[in-house]
Amino acid sequence: MTNHLNNHLAIAIGNTRIKAVIFGNDRQILEEYAFTHDQLPILEARLANRDFANIAIASVVPDLLTSWHYLPQTQIIKTADVPLRGLYATMGCDRALAAYGAGEIYGYPVLVIDAGTAITLTGIDTDRALVGGAIVAGLRSQFLSLYQNTAALSDVHIPETLPSRWGLDTPSSIQAGIAHIFLAGLQAYIDDWRSQFPDSKVIITGGDGEHLVKWGLQVDIIDKNLIFWGLWRCCEFQSKALSQ
Catalytic residues: 94
* DSSP state at residue 207: T
Specify whether the CB–CB gap between 89 and 73 falls below 8 A: no
Q: Please name which of 15, 8, 28 lies closest in space to residue 74, comparing C-alpha atoms.
A: 8
Q: How far apart are alpha carbons 55 and 69 in whole angstroms?
A: 9
What angle is formed at CA 26 by the lines to CA 23 and CA 31, rounded to 5 degrees?
25
Q: How far apart are alpha carbons 126 and 131 in whole angstroms?
A: 10
Specify whether the CB–CB gap between 64 and 38 falls below 8 A: no
Per residue, what are the HEC states of 147-194?
HHHCCCCCCCCCCCCCCCCCCCCHHHHHHHHHHHHHHHHHHHHHHHHH
